[in-house]
Structure 1
Amino acid sequence: MSTLVSTTMTAVHRRVLLFLAYLGLAALSNVAAFLLRFDQVVPAAQWELCLTLLPLLLAIRALAFYPFRLYDGLWRYTSLWDVRDLALSIALSTLVFVGVVRLGLGIRAYPSSIFVIDALLLFCFQTGVRAIPRLLRERGWMGTGRKRVLIVGAGDAGAMIVREMRNNPSSGYRPIGFVDDDPAKVGHRIHGVKVLGSRVRLPEIIAEDAPDVVLVAMPSAAPATIREVVTALEPFHLPIQTLPNLRDLLQCRVEVGQIRNLSVEDLLDRVPVDLDPEPLRALVQGARVLVTGAGGSIGSELCRQVARLAPTMLVMLDRYENGLFAVANELMAAGHSSIAPVIGDVTEVGQMNRLFAEYRPTLVFHAAAHKHVPLMEGNPCEAVLNNVGGTRIVAEAAHRHEVERFILISTDKAVNPVSVMGASKGVAELLLQQLGRSSRTRFATVRFGNVLGSNGSVVPLFLEQIKAGGPVTITDPQMRRYFMLVAEAVHLVLHAARLAKGGELFVLEMGEQISVVEMARNLIRLAGFVPDKDIVLAYVGCRPGEKLVEELVAAHERVEKTAVSKVLAVVSDSGRDLTRLSTLVAQLEESAAEGNVATVLGLLRTILPNYHPVPIPATLDGSPDVDSGVTEELPASSADIVTASPTGSHRRA
């Protein structure tokens, strides 16, 4: 209480002192106006007139001073708004004083020029005393001991951050120059900081001015532009920092505290910010939602976004307890109570039927899948049992229990697959298309590429290798991949789910494919190292089942725009007959359950004529595993496929 009273008294005392200072300057400016007007030799009659009317002038000045609340401003933070208010206050009080002297009192002897000189002097005095504390406060902004910052981008964000650095000398930054591609800005100064040149001269500018850090102040720049800047900085061992993306700036204000290290997310194409979230709320709010594979990267993010849309119940299914435990705890800590974490296996028919009967989901997102390409090459039977059989079992349960919508999460590796994982997801896509033709449930598939930072993806692997000092291993220098942030990919999946009417296949527009080598080199740069100097890149050759370039759409498919930006509908031109699909899938699952690898691979090629597997190395014991038990539907060449050893038994209902 005593502290509050002390603070209040200090504020009152400060206002009184400011008020008295203002009146003192008003008196000084009036006296100075007479001295200037009469060249320092003021006639006695004029001195008497000055002193007689001075109290009236001060009273009018004081009355005009109050409504503009000029006593509340902190002089060291004086801005153009304060100067505007000060000018209005002086102009208003001067006009009132002129009216009282000329019209009210009828005094004509008071020189007209005094009114103007007095007003101008008072404005200069007032702005001067306000500017001095700010100048004293900012005099240290160019001092030593601060990081020399080169700012890329001389737009509004760059100008604001320089002003913030000047206003906060304790920030530890000293801007030494701007880099901007606008030729009209080059050579000019912004808040006293010169625009040194364009991005073409970036290496030359760094060599000449030796900054300690580069700040990319382009919140609205395209990721391709950011990548160009990072590439230009490759020869220099400099940390790269940036400001929040434009979509993350809640207000048109940039502060020093918002500066952060550039991250790999800044190098990726982002989802448009104008997607309306309300249709998603209409889809999920009040619904009973089931997410399979809820403990994985995609499944857990689906759970987070679905939970925020207020479903009646969120059922989270996974057969691995650790990931499920983590996301369930996270959601409960965030206040989401209508959740049901369930340990279960999508390949167990009885278990899935009991789950659907108990929770009666109305919306299902099927994200459970084996996705590691090299592992599935060595375990093709397990890939089929989980990715094909699991999808069929959950989809048929959804059909039996009349779920409203069922969304399969697929992958770009299902397009012209060369891997078992991609082929198994391709068969799952066909199953959904077949079911969508006859079921009351709206079955749909969403296909997209790599999501940044997902379990087992390349970026976390690169970061671990960089942390260990290298080398960073890359399969092939020509390898390119689509990348998207997991939160944004899931956001688009939800929008695609809203569009589903039955049997559709959607793809997410993932932007341009990014070179994996470029991604690795950028990650090394962002970690503060120089590629090929501090951290070595090693090329190890393609792993089994890997493509150099992934595809989102096959040759026999075409895409059409939908009502949602970045979500495209895939239309197949093949006119494929799916009548034998159920029979072939039954044989495929049976062969997988028996561990018959060659038959599994042959059936995958029969179901997917565009599946062209690469030869797989010998089994761990060094001997090829060849099984000639091929059904009559298989092509003759199927028995000649050399495979890894099959996995063993799998629990089946």
Structure 2
Amino acid sequence: MRQQVILNPLFRRGLLVAFDCVALPLSVWSSFAFRLATPWPQQLRECEWMFPTALILGLGIYLISGQYKGLTRYSGSLSLYQMTLRNLALTAGLVLIALMTPLPAPPRSSWLIFWLMLTALTAGGRLLLRDTLVYLVIPQRRQPVFIYGAGAAGAQLLASLRLSPRYRVVAFIDDNPDLWGRHLNAIPIQPPQRLPRLRNRFGCDQVLLAMPSVAKARRRHILDQLQMEDLRVLSIPALDEIASGRTRIDDLRPVAITDLLGRDPVPPQLNLIQSCVRDRVVLVTGAGGSIGSELCRQITCWQPRQLIAFEQSEFALYQLEQELRPTCPSLLPILGSVLDRDRLEQIYRRYHVETVYHAAAYKHVPLVEANPLEGLLNNSFGTRLAAEAAIQAGVETFVLISTDKAVRPTNVMGASKRLAEQIIQGLQSESEHTRLCMVRFGNVLGSSGSVVPLFEKQIRAGGPITLTHPEIIRYFMTIPEAAQLVLQASAFAEGGDVFLLDMGEPIKILDLARQMIRLSGLTVRDENNPQGDIEIHCTGLRPGEKLYEELLISAEDQPTQHPLIRRAQENAPPWVDLQQGLVQLEQAIQQQNESRALVLLRQLVPDYQPAIEQLPSAA
């Protein structure tokens, strides 16, 4: 690799001055020679005064106007325009001297030739010096890359990479047929179909994706194409990050896993969010969790009168406060447990809480499966106590954050959330003023305990990626989108509602793992590629885990005003009957009778169908 060459500023300026000392007299000579078609015409001998005058006046104008202060290595079109104006000023000065003195004047057309020749020589010399410096600075061998997208972002990226010590752009790839065969700054624009041939020709295995504003569906299609060719992909930042100055266009990064969803976010309906948040007192339980913290972040953007973050983890609450305090002076962090009904009711009354988002829950299936009594106590009875306190305190809206695992559950976590949904529906029949509802959705990307952070950690460690089953599929949504839809869904609450979020198309977890490996610039190690980087191991389904998840218990649901939110009609047992079962279940939990509690759970949630080996042996 060539060592970087840095010229001393005085030496560089001296070099430019010396070049101009040659260019100025040469331009005077050429203006006569080209005009009169002879190397040394008689009129030039009569106008010899122009040689020293042009040299002295020209260097003076260049020095005063700052022509020698610029960094030649980064010279662009603006520098050339400024040089053209300086040369025009020099030409005008010489014309004035010829008109105001008895000195012999050259032919009038030679002034134009002088200006054009001087501009060509000074500009060309600086471009030559610039390109020489660039050649001396950049490494001799740089990694060849393709830029996908020959639009404005691609052109900006190419300009930014001109001095890059790492990348050398060899071709643009674009799916617009009107651009095929053309060039962008001397770089050819080729169709995607020629990628295999171009890859072999240039030995290139990396693509820089320069399409920040393209729709997610098209972006995912492009990524699928590039991954089929085993090309590594880096992407430029989002437009809002570039515009805000938080990052630059050449801050390349791995493609975000959210791009694999292939769905474009729907802009929020402001009136829906404002009706439940703006200038209101809002309380979020489980505020330190993945969903709870994102709810708090988005609520702060809508100017609540007060935001109360209720959380039992001191560290999680501390982190949330440090993050949100600068932007939300009304934030009130409160440590506490949803199992403390009296404390919750006291908080509701003291701060006149109007809207509650209940996100506190144990959500990790294997942990709750191993600790079923704690899962039932927190998820089911915690919901009941928080909702009853809200009814007694006169809270207007209570929203339960539920899960798709509550639909025909096969594990204790899902069954505990389904029981919580039934409790909300039952309490609604006893409530006159509080509207209780629930929002049900699937997995969120990047939440604690989800597969994406786990896969990322395993890839960084060199593998293998552990997968429970090759056919397992899941619905995915980003955390910000889920929180935003929860806020909007709560505006539709009439009482006892079950809202479903449109999760898009399900994703096969095996395909997700393979895509994450490829997006990391690595290859999958399998039978077809034994020399690959990361292996995928299937460990078998965990207790209570399903191959696929559902959002509806019955097939009946209706649309709402929002295209991604639907309202379901689901039956629930009478509150009187449910209460009797809850009393018995609470007693079993207090007695630490796990077998009895699980039998009662199956009675209270008839759709709960655990695996045979999980069933308790005694009632």
TM range (shorter): 0.7 to 0.9
Deviation, structure 1 residue 276: 7.5
The 8 Å contact of residues 25 and 54 in structure 2, kept in 1 or not, is answered as no
1:31 aligns with 2:36: no
Report the counterpart of residue 520 of structure 1 in structure 2: 513
The 8 Å contact of residues 474 and 538 in structure 1, kept in 2 or not, is answered as yes
Cα-to-partner distance string for 1:542-563 (whole Å, 9 max, x where unaligned)? 3344333323345433342535
Within 5 Å, which residues of 2 pair with 1:312-327? 312-327=305-320
* 3-state secondary structure, aligned to 2:288: coil
1:162 aligns with 2:158: yes
1:414 aligns with 2:406: yes
Structure 2: runs of 5+ lacking an equivalent = 1-8, 527-531
Report the counterpart of residue 599 of structure 1 in structure 2: 600
Identify if the C-alpha distance between structure 1 residues 432 and 19 changes in structure 2 by more than 3 Å, giving closer, same or farther. farther
The 8 Å contact of residues 73 and 134 in structure 2, kept in 1 or not, is answered as no
Distance 1:507 1:163 in 2: 47
Deviation, structure 1 residue 598: 1.6
Within 5 Å, which residues of 2 pair with 1:124-203? 124-140=120-136, 143-166=139-162, 168-169=163-164, 171-195=165-189, 197-198=191-192, 200-203=193-196
Report the counterpart of residue 393 of structure 1 in structure 2: 385
Deviation, structure 1 residue 518: 0.8
The 8 Å contact of residues 164 and 255 in structure 1, kept in 2 or not, is answered as no
Report the counterpart of residue 547 of structure 1 in structure 2: 546
Within 5 Å, which residues of 2 pair with 1:57-456? 73-87=70-84, 110-140=106-136, 143-166=139-162, 168-169=163-164, 171-195=165-189, 197-198=191-192, 200-211=193-204, 213-224=206-217, 227=220, 239-250=232-243, 255=248, 257-269=250-262, 272=265, 274-275=267-268, 284=277, 286-307=279-300, 311-331=304-324, 334=326, 338-377=330-369, 381-433=373-425, 439-456=432-449
Deviation, structure 1 residue 349: 2.5
Report the AA paired with residue 264 of structure 1. I
Deviation, structure 1 residue 449: 1.5
Q: Which of 580, 584, 587 is 2:578 aligned to? A: 584
Cα-to-partner distance string for 1:441-469 (whole Å, 9 max, x where unaligned)? 34343222111121221223333444555
Report the counterpart of residue 640 of structure 1 in structure 2: none
Q: Which of 501, 510, 522 is 2:503 aligned to? A: 510
1:473 aligns with 2:466: yes
Distance 2:396 2:212 in 1: 41
Identify if the C-alpha distance between structure 1 residues 560 and 118 changes in structure 2 by more than 3 Å, giving closer, same or farther. same
Distance 1:280 1:47 in 2: 84
Report the counterpart of residue 459 of structure 1 in structure 2: 452
Distance 1:625 1:351 in 2: 39
Identify if the C-alpha distance between structure 1 residues 87 and 424 changes in structure 2 by more than 3 Å, giving closer, same or farther. same
Report the AA paired with residue 463 of structure 1. E
The 8 Å contact of residues 508 and 568 in structure 1, kept in 2 or not, is answered as yes
Within 5 Å, which residues of 2 pair with 1:614-629? 614-618=610-614, 624-627=616-619
Identify if the C-alpha distance between structure 1 residues 242 and 546 changes in structure 2 by more than 3 Å, giving closer, same or farther. same
* 3-state secondary structure, aligned to 1:546: coil
The 8 Å contact of residues 362 and 403 in structure 1, kept in 2 or not, is answered as yes
Cα-to-partner distance string for 1:270-318 (whole Å, 9 max, x where unaligned)? 6638548798578545543322112322122333443455545433323
The 8 Å contact of residues 367 and 408 in structure 1, kept in 2 or not, is answered as yes
Report the counterpart of residue 529 of structure 2 in structure 1: none
Distance 2:245 2:265 in 1: 19
The aligned length equals 597
Deviation, structure 1 residue 397: 1.4
Distance 2:478 2:116 in 1: 59
Distance 1:612 1:228 in 2: 39
Report the AA paired with residue 129 of structure 1. G
Distance 2:51 2:201 in 1: 63
1:483 aligns with 2:476: yes
* 3-state secondary structure, aligned to 2:537: strand
Report the AA paired with residue 134 of structure 1. R
Report the AA paired with residue 181 of structure 1. D
Higher mean C-alpha displacement, 502-511 vs 357-366: 502-511
* 3-state secondary structure, aligned to 1:249: helix
Identify if the C-alpha distance between structure 1 residues 194 and 603 changes in structure 2 by more than 3 Å, giving closer, same or farther. same
Higher mean C-alpha displacement, 231-240 vs 291-300: 231-240
Distance 2:303 2:187 in 1: 50
The 8 Å contact of residues 381 and 600 in structure 1, kept in 2 or not, is answered as no
Distance 1:352 1:308 in 2: 25
Distance 1:144 1:429 in 2: 65
Identify if the C-alpha distance between structure 1 residues 524 and 15 changes in structure 2 by more than 3 Å, giving closer, same or farther. closer
Deviation, structure 1 residue 131: 1.1
Distance 1:194 1:484 in 2: 38
Distance 1:23 1:585 in 2: 99
* 3-state secondary structure, aligned to 1:149: strand
Structure 1: runs of 5+ lacking an equivalent = 1-9, 606-610, 628-653
RMSD value, Cα = 4.3
Identify if the C-alpha distance between structure 1 residues 73 and 269 changes in structure 2 by more than 3 Å, giving closer, same or farther. same
Higher mean C-alpha displacement, 383-392 vs 79-88: 79-88
Distance 2:32 2:500 in 1: 80
Identify if the C-alpha distance between structure 1 residues 155 and 544 changes in structure 2 by more than 3 Å, giving closer, same or farther. same
Cα-to-partner distance string for 1:43-80 (whole Å, 9 max, x where unaligned)? 545643573799699979988x8999767654433323
Higher mean C-alpha displacement, 441-450 vs 309-318: 309-318
Deviation, structure 1 residue 366: 0.5
- TM-score with structure 1 length normalisation? 0.76
Identify if the C-alpha distance between structure 1 residues 477 and 119 changes in structure 2 by more than 3 Å, giving closer, same or farther. same
Deviation, structure 1 residue 124: 0.8
Identify if the C-alpha distance between structure 1 residues 34 and 275 changes in structure 2 by more than 3 Å, giving closer, same or farther. farther
